[in-house]
Chains A and B, each alone.
Chain A
Amino acid sequence: MYMAKRRLNLKYRRIINIIVLIIALICLTLVIYSIINIVNWKINVDDNKNIQNKINDNITIVEPTEEKEAEYNIDFKALKEINEDTIAYLKVNGTNIDYVVVKGNDNSYYLKHNFEKNLNIAGWIFADYHNNFDELDKNIVIFGHNTKDGSMFGTLKNVLNKEWYENKDNYKIILVTEMTIYYYQVFSTYSIKAEDYYINTEFVNNEEFKKFINKLKSRSIYNYEIEVSGNDKILTLSSCIGDGSKRVVLHAKLLTNEDYNL
C-alpha cells in the first residue's frame, strides 16, 4: 500500500515537473521573442531617424521675421526620386510632427513600410489613398503611428493637453505641396473610439459637409473659436491612442488669404 502510494506520488511529481518545464520553455521563448522584437523596433526607429536626416537635406526652412512668414523650400523632385509616393510636407507646432507625407495605393502599405519602402514597424506618415492633392479634397486625412519614442505621430496626443491648447502658436499647421503652401488652423481636437466617420474624404454637397463639420466641432475637448463653413476645406490628422481601440484626432480649417492673419 505504501509502495503504491509512493509510486502515485512519484507519478504526480513527474507530471508537475513536466508542466513546469513546459512553462519554463514557453517563458524562455517569449523572452527571446520579445527581445528580438524590441531590438527590431529600435533598429526600425533608428532607421527612420536616419532617413529623416537624409530627407532634411532636401528641406530648407527660412525662419520667420517680423515682416515675413517662414519660407519652406522643399525639393520635391529629389524626394520623389527616393519615393515617388511623396505628396506633401507637414508640420504641426507643439509636436515633433515635421515630416514628408506619402500617399500609397491603400491605407495599409505605409503602416509597415518607411519612406524608403523598406519594412519598418514604425511605418511612415501617409495620406488617405482616396485623397486628391491636386484639387485638395474637402477633407485631407493623414495617418501615422503613435510610436513610443515620439517619432511619426507619437506626439499627436499632445493636442489633448491643456498646455498645448493654451499656446495659440500651436493652432497653425503647415502643409506644403508641390503647388503651394497651405496654412491650416485647428478647430477641433479629441479622442474617440475607432470609427470611419471622420475619415470621410468626399461629400455630396456643401450642406452635407457643413453637417459633418458641426459634428466634428461638437466633439472637440477645447473651444478654438474659429468658424468653419460648408465651403471650407479641412485637414484631419489621426493616430491610435491607448490600447489601439481609440484614436486621437485633430481637425484644422484651410485658411484663405482673407482670413489668414496668424
Chain B
Amino acid sequence: MKKKIKMGIMNMSKKFMVVTMVFAMLFSYFAKIVNVFAESSTTKLTVTFRGDNANYGTVQYSLDDGASWNDIIENTENLNITVTGDNLRLKIVPNANYSIDYAGIEMRHDDNVVGGLSTIGFESSNGYSVPSNVQSVKLEQVEFSYSLNNNDPEMPELNATAKVNISVSGEEFEYDNPWSDDATDFRFGINASDEIRRLGKDEVNYIRENDKIVGLINKNEINYQYNYNNEGTVTFHIQTQWDDVITTLKINNVVYPTPKTKADLVEAFHERAIKFDVANVPYAETYDIEVIGGKQTQNEKIMGNFGWTYDPNTNEYSDDDKIPNGNLEFVKAVYNNITYNSIEEVNAAGEIFEWNDGKKGTNDPTGEAMFPTGTVLTLRLVPDTGYQLTSFDLNGMPFEPGEEVGLYTFTIGGGNWHLGASFNEVNDEVEANSENIKSGNITIAKNGHKFENGTAKLEVNDVISMSFDRVEEFENTAKEEGYELENYLDISLYNTIYKGGSKDVNGKYETWDTPIENIDDKATITLELENDMSGKELAIVHEKHNGNEITGYELIDATYNEEDNTITFETNSFSNYAIVSKDATEKVEYTIKDASGNEIIFKNNDGHNYILTLVDYLSFSKEELVLKYDVDPDEYDLVFNTIKEKTGKYGDLLSFYEIIVTDEHDREVNNGPFTIKIKMTDKMKKYNTFKIMYIDDELNIEKPIDLKVEGDYLVGSIPHLSKYILTGSITENPQTIDNIMNYISILGLSMIGLIGTGLYTKKKLFNK
C-alpha cells in the first residue's frame, strides 16, 4: 500500500513538474517577447568619399553583427537600412598600400558629431557598432593616404639623403621647434615632389617624376633614388598662407628672391596660398633654410574675402554672416578695368577670383567670395517676403545703393570681412498722406503678395483732381444703394524694399518702391478716419482700372467700427476710391439654408434676397470634379495631398467647402461674421472634435476655428465666406494610470491559488 502511495505521489509529482516546467518556459519566453520588445527601426546611412578616394578603399556595413558585410563603393545618400537594436556595424577598408586618413573624416549620429574616429574600431574585424536608436548615420569625407613599405616593389632604391634644417621667424612665423604640429604657415617641397611638405607633419610624402616615385620626404630627411636633377641643382617649392609675406629667404646662407610687392604676391597666389619656386639651389647634403616673414599689413593685403550662410543655426559662421531671411546674388565685378558679368566669368578668370553660391533650403546653404583688393563689386541683396534689411554695414566699408532694387556697389578691401546684414520681419504698412485719413493697416494673405522680396506699402493720398464725368460715375454708383459721397482717395500699393538700412532725416527707412496694380487674393485694408462717422453706415466705391483705362465702378461692402472710427474693406486692385455713407439702419438677422440643410446666419440691413451655395469638393470623385468644375486632373492629387499634409495635425480631412452667399443681383455677400451650421453626415458622427479653417488659393491655411456639435449640426462662427477645410478628430483624455498595483494584486491572488491547489493535492495524496 505504501509502495502504491509512494508510486502515486511520484507519478503525480513528475507529471506535475514536467507540465509546469514546460508551461513556465513557454510563458517566460512569451513574456520576454512581450515585455522586452526588440524594436526594429529604419536608419538612414550616408557615406561620401573625398574626391576620388572611393578608388583607394571601401566602406562596409553589416546588419548581422559582423557575420557578413555589404560594400559601399561610391557616394551614397540616405540609404534606408532596417536595423534591430544595435546590430549595425561599419568598417572602412583601405586598398593595398593605403591607410585611412582620419584627419578630414567626419561622422555624425543624428547630426551629432562623433569624435575619436581613429579609436572606435573602423579597422577592427568586427567594425564599429552604431548605437541603437540612431536614426541617421553620416560618414563623410572618407579619405585614404598612400604609403609604401620597404618591401613594396614600387618602393625605389634610395641612395642619397639630404637633411633640411629650417628656422622660421617673424610675426606669426616664430616657432621653437620648426617641426612642431602647430607650424602650418610655412611649407616646402622639392623638385617634382607631389606634395608641399608642411612643417611638423609626421608622415611620408612621395616625390614623383613622370608618375614614378623617385624619393621620399620624411620629416627633415629627403631621400632620393638618384641625385637631384641633371644640372646639379634642386628646386625648392615654397608655400605660405595667402596673407603672408616672406621678407628674407636664405638657403645655405644664400639669399633668394621672394614675392614681396602686391603685384608679385598676386601673381604668386595659387589655390588660396602664396606659392613660388626657388630654383637653382646647389645640391648639398644639408640645407639650412632661414625664413623671415610675417602677415601682410592691411595696406599690403592682396585679397579680400567674405562668406555668408542661409542657415541660422550653424556654429561655423558668426551672426554677422547669417542671412536666413534674405538673398545674395552676384551682379558684376570690375578689376583692372575688366568687367566680369557672371559667376562663370569670375570663376574662369583665374585663381585670384572666386565665387561660390550658397543655396537656400539645401544641404549647401553657405557661399563664399574672394577677390583681389581694389575690385569693385556689385551685389544684389534683397529680403524675403515679409522681411526688410534693417541694418547693413559691410564691416564699415562704404557702399552705394544702386538705382535698381537691391543693388549695392563697393570696393573690396583686404582680409576677411563680414556682411553685417540684418533682415528682420516687418509688417506691411500704410502711409496715410490724406487729410481725411489718420492711419491705417493692410493685411495681405500669405503668398498673396505676388512679389518675392520685401513688404507691401499702401499709400493713401487725396485725389488732387478728377473730371466731372468721373465724379458723376462715383455719385451714381453710390446713390444706387442710397449712399452719399464723403471723400475721394488715391490708394496705391507698392512693393517696398529698404535701402541698406539707412534712414532719412525723419527717421524713416529709405526705400526702393515698385508699384503694384493688382494682387491675386484680396487685401484687407483698415483706415482710421479723421472725421467721426458715428451713426453712419459706410461703403466704398471703387474706380476699376486695368492699367490703361477705367473699366467701371463698383460698390464694395465695408465695415465701420464706431469704437475706433475705422473703416475696413477688401480689395485686390489699387486706384481711386471714394468713401460713401448713409444713415445706419438696424441690421436684421438672415438665416439662409441650402438644399442639404446647411445654414448660414448673418446680419444685414439692405433687404436683399439671399441664396446659399455650399459645395463640398470632397463629395465628388476626381472625374466628376474634372467634368463639373474644370479641375486639372494632374493637379488633383497634388492639391489633395497638400491639404491632407497641412491639416493632418488637426485630424482627419472631412470636407473641402466653398461657401458663397449671393443676393438677387448675383453679388456676393461678405460682411461677416457668419454663423455656419453644417448638417452632420454619418461619416462625421464617429468624431467628437471638429475644426474648420480658411484655405486660400495657394493652399495656405489660417488658424483653425472650433465647431461645436449641436444636435445634428456642427456650429461655429467664421469671419468671411470662402473656401474652408473641415477636419474631425477624436479627443480623448489619455489613460495615465500605473498598473503596478494590478500586477501586485494578480501576484497575490495567483499565489493564493497556487498554494490552495498545492494544499488540495497534498491532502489528496495523504488521504490515499
Given the contacts A23-B753, A27-B750, A27-B751, A145 and B738 also touching, CB distance less than 8 Å: yes
CB nearest to B31 among chain A residues: A36
Indicate whether B761 reaches chain A with its CB closer than 8 angstroms: yes
A residues contacting the other copy or chain, number (CB 8 A): 56
Given the contacts A29-B27, A31-B747, A111-B734, A148 and B741 also touching, CB distance less than 8 Å: yes
User: Which of these binds chain A: B17-25, B264-272, B351-359, B398-406?
Assistant: B17-25
Residues on A with C-beta less than 8 A from B96 are none
Given the contacts A20-B760, A36-B28, A37-B35, A27 and B753 also touching, CB distance less than 8 Å: yes
Q: Report A179-208 residues with CB < 8 Å from chain B CB.
A: 194-196, 199, 202-204
Q: Is the CB of B757 within 8 A of A41?
A: no
Contact of B744 among A17, A38, A117, A239 (CB under 8 A): A38
Indicate whether B280 reaches chain A with its CB closer than 8 angstroms: no
CB nearest to A84 among chain B residues: B110
Q: Report B108-150 residues with CB < 8 Å from chain A CB.
A: 112, 133
Q: Is the CB of A29 within 8 A of B735?
A: no
CB nearest to B761 among chain A residues: A20
Q: Closest approach, in angstroms, between the C-beta of B109 and any C-beta of chain A? A: 10
Q: Is the CB of B716 within 8 A of A148?
A: no
CB nearest to B755 among chain A residues: A27
Indicate whether A99 reaches chain B with its CB closer than 8 angstroms: no
Q: Is the CB of A21 within 8 A of B16?
A: yes
In the bound assembly, the distance between CA atoms of A27 and B752 in angstroms comes to: 8
Given the contacts A21-B16, A118-B133, A143 and B739 also touching, CB distance less than 8 Å: no
Contact of B23 among A25, A37, A144 (CB under 8 A): A25
Q: Closest approach, in angstroms, between the C-beta of B748 and any C-beta of chain A? A: 9
Q: Report B16-64 residues with CB < 8 Å from chain A CB.
A: 16, 19-20, 23-24, 27-28, 31-32, 35-37, 39
Quick one: which of B24, B736, B754 has the most chain A CB within 10 A? B736
In the bound assembly, the distance between CA atoms of A251 and B24 in angstroms comes to: 48
Q: Is the CB of B23 within 8 A of A28?
A: yes
Q: Closest approach, in angstroms, between the C-beta of B688 and any C-beta of chain A? A: 7
Residues on A with C-beta less than 8 A from B133 are 116-118
Q: Closest approach, in angstroms, between the C-beta of A93 and any C-beta of chain B? A: 21
Q: Is the CB of A30 within 8 A of B746?
A: yes
Indicate whether A147 reaches chain B with its CB closer than 8 angstroms: yes
User: Which of these binds chain B: A61-69, A160-168, A240-248?
Assistant: A240-248
Indicate whether B717 reaches chain A with its CB closer than 8 angstroms: yes
Q: Is the CB of A145 within 8 A of B704?
A: no
Residues on B with C-beta less than 8 A from A33 are 27, 31, 746
Q: Is the CB of A203 within 8 A of B747?
A: no
Binary B-proximity of A12-23 (CB < 8 A = 1, otherwise 0) = 000001001101
Indicate whether B731 reaches chain A with its CB closer than 8 angstroms: yes
Indicate whether B732 reaches chain A with its CB closer than 8 angstroms: yes
Q: Is the CB of B736 within 8 A of A238?
A: yes
Q: Is the CB of B740 within 8 A of A32?
A: no
Q: Is the CB of B738 within 8 A of A147?
A: yes
In the bound assembly, the distance between CA atoms of A121 and B37 in angstroms comes to: 12
Indicate whether B764 reaches chain A with its CB closer than 8 angstroms: yes
Q: Is the CB of B733 within 8 A of A38?
A: no
Given the contacts A20-B757, A38-B740, A144-B736, A204 and B717 also touching, CB distance less than 8 Å: yes
CB nearest to B648 among chain A residues: A105
Given the contacts A20-B761, A25-B23, A108 and B734 also touching, CB distance less than 8 Å: yes
Contact of B738 among A117, A130, A146 (CB under 8 A): A146
Q: Is the CB of B754 within 8 A of A31?
A: yes
Given the contacts A34-B744, A117-B133, A154 and B733 also touching, CB distance less than 8 Å: no
Indicate whether A153 reaches chain B with its CB closer than 8 angstroms: yes
In the bound assembly, the distance between CA atoms of A29 and B23 in angstroms comes to: 8
Residues on A with C-beta less than 8 A from B758 are 24
Indicate whether B737 reaches chain A with its CB closer than 8 angstroms: yes
CB nearest to B731 among chain A residues: A196
CB nearest to A202 among chain B residues: B706
Contact of A195 among B704, B733, B734 (CB under 8 A): B733
Residues on B with C-beta less than 8 A from A202 are 691, 704, 706
Contact of A37 among B731, B743, B760 (CB under 8 A): B743
Q: Closest approach, in angstroms, between the C-beta of B400 and any C-beta of chain A? A: 39
Q: Is the CB of A199 within 8 A of B731?
A: yes
Contact of A34 among B16, B23, B705, B746 (CB under 8 A): B746
Residues on A with C-beta less than 8 A from B37 are 119
In the bound assembly, the distance between CA atoms of A31 and B733 in angstroms comes to: 32
Residues on B with C-beta less than 8 A from A130 are 649
In the bound assembly, the distance between CA atoms of A32 and B761 in angstroms comes to: 21
Q: Is the CB of A153 within 8 A of B736?
A: yes
Indicate whether A134 reaches chain B with its CB closer than 8 angstroms: no
In the bound assembly, the distance between CA atoms of A151 and B716 in angstroms comes to: 41
Indicate whether A81 reaches chain B with its CB closer than 8 angstroms: yes
CB nearest to B746 among chain A residues: A34
Quick one: which of A28, A105, A123, A203 has the most chain B CB within 10 A? A28
A-B contact pairs, 17 of them (CB 8 A): A20-B761, A23-B757, A24-B20, A27-B753, A28-B750, A29-B23, A29-B27, A31-B754, A38-B743, A41-B743, A81-B112, A121-B738, A121-B739, A122-B738, A147-B740, A204-B717, A244-B737
Q: Which are the 9 A-B pairs with shortest beta-carbon distances? A: A244-B737, A30-B750, A27-B753, A24-B757, A240-B737, A34-B747, A27-B754, A27-B750, A34-B746
Which B residues have a C-beta under 8 Å from some C-beta of A? 16, 19-20, 23-24, 27-28, 31-32, 35-37, 39, 112, 133, 649, 688-689, 691, 704-706, 716-717, 731-741, 743-744, 746-747, 749-751, 753-754, 757-758, 760-761, 764
